[in-house]
Structure 1
Amino acid sequence: MPPRAVVFDIGNVLIEWQPERHYDAVIGPVRRKAMFEAVDLHGMNDRVDRGAPFKETIYETAQLYPEWRSEIRMWYDQWIHMAQPAIDRSVRLLRALRSEGVPVFALSNFGIDSFAYAQTQYQFLKEFDRKYISGHMATAKPDAEIYQMLEEDTGLSGADLLFADDRDENIDAAVARGWHGHLFRSPQGWAECLIGHGLLTSDQAA
């Protein structure tokens, strides 16, 4: 039996999420590396993903590091430039699954306000059957609680679910619960996974 629903991460599965790449383009690799060594920017973002206010968290962090104040604020002011472009084939796969009647869920570490903004820029983020966004849930992958919350809400668990994510630890947490997991490295690999599970044909996954 194929899985009954497919679960998508968003960052680096449906939308490229590359803050370092954006900073390299704006302030140069040398200054970017120095800033990331001095400031735990990903830790700051993790707090947003767990429900902390988007702008306030970033601006408050910027105040703590006067040398990097303007650059840290870019995490909010220029956020959409870090979260682009869409991964077009992954979007097509999402839509192909829905056209075949396969329920498609989002399970993503994403802030409340940043996700609301992203939905204004990417229409496909409104096309999931259900969305599980960490900021709203006050927990985040790979915490077991967020997977359990999805299971309880959908009534699906174990092999009913096929999950694609770009981070090993997030896949490992899902597999530990009996889910099928796919470590996303390319849209082609994800397409082959969906074909292998009998959810799409080669033509549908093209």
Structure 2
Amino acid sequence: MIDAVVFDIGNVLIEWQPERFYDREIGEERRREMFKTVDLHEMNNRVDRGENFRDVIYETAEAHPEWREEIRHWYDRWIELAQPVIPHSIQLLRALRSKGVPVFALTNFGIDSFAHAETHYPFLGEFDRRYISGHMGLIKPVSRIFEMVEEDSGLRPGQMLFTDDRQDNIDAAAARGWHTHLFDGPTGWAARLVAEGLLSEAEAAP
């Protein structure tokens, strides 16, 4: 029996495609060169593990002066990287809560970047429990982060259904015995929630 539904946030509730932002700003060719030269995703992982958002971005920018301005955008214009929302997914979150189904967030997100996101996306305050990697000090897909959710919530792995857009995160949760759904769009996620008996077709419809 599923007693809680656990949402990832990036690319599940809010689109997270930094490459798309940079393609618009500097063009695809230069973006590819920058991402090849600078490990921007590992930079972001440092933030998601709890390091200071501005310090990490600006330190990386200073280490790569040829890309200084572009790298600083990751902090200065961050909300433009983390958009738009995925409306149907937010609707599903709210439909579950209206049915009395506990809804958690488990997300790789920095402390300061999440606080910033909350000022733009009020639905981030609607979860029953929020597990933010920056506060936890480690990121998915490390097995321990899933164990920490179990310990804090008091739920067994088989009582939770988790959706995430990354296969490695899904595999890590499944290895602990969680029910999982690889998110590839809200339509498939809605169908899974209906199949599990958590929502009716009408409740899950966009």
Q: TM-score range by the shorter chain?
A: over 0.9
Query: How big is each residue's C-alpha offset from its partner over 1:75-132, in whole Å with a ceiling of 9 and x where there is no partner?
Result: 0011101100000000000000000000000000000000000011001100000000
Matches within 5 A, 1:147-158: 147-158=146-157
Structure 1 unpaired stretches of 5+: none
Distance 1:37 1:173 in 2: 28
**Secondary structure at 1:203 match in 2:** helix
TM norm structure 2: 0.99
- State the 1:158 CA deviation: 1.9
Alignment match, 2:26: 27
Q: Does 2:186 correspond to 1:198?
A: no
**Secondary structure at 2:202 match in 1:** coil
Alignment match, 2:95: 96
Amino acid of the structure 2 residue aligned with 1:86: V
Distance 2:156 2:139 in 1: 18
Alignment match, 2:133: 134
> What fraction of aligned residue pairs are identical, expressed as a percent?
65
Alignment match, 2:122: 123
Alignment match, 1:74: 73
Distance 2:185 2:117 in 1: 22
Alignment match, 2:56: 57
Amino acid of the structure 2 residue aligned with 1:197: E
Distance 1:199 1:5 in 2: 10
TM norm structure 1: 0.99
> RMSD over aligned Cα, in angstroms?
0.5
**Secondary structure at 1:204 match in 2:** helix
**Secondary structure at 1:7 match in 2:** strand
Query: How big is each residue's C-alpha offset from its partner over 1:164-191, in whole Å with a ceiling of 9 and x where there is no partner?
Result: 0000000001111111000000100000
Distance 2:185 2:158 in 1: 23
Distance 1:92 1:123 in 2: 13
- State the 1:203 CA deviation: 0.4
Distance 1:200 1:170 in 2: 24
- State the 1:157 CA deviation: 1.7
Distance 1:77 1:23 in 2: 13
- State the 1:159 CA deviation: 1.5
Alignment match, 1:46: 45
**Secondary structure at 2:180 match in 1:** strand
Distance 1:69 1:4 in 2: 47
Matches within 5 A, 1:5-24: 5-24=4-23
* 4+ residue runs over 4 A deviation: none
The count of corresponding residues between Structure 1 and Structure 2 is 205
Alignment match, 1:110: 109
Distance 1:36 1:179 in 2: 34
Alignment match, 2:187: 188
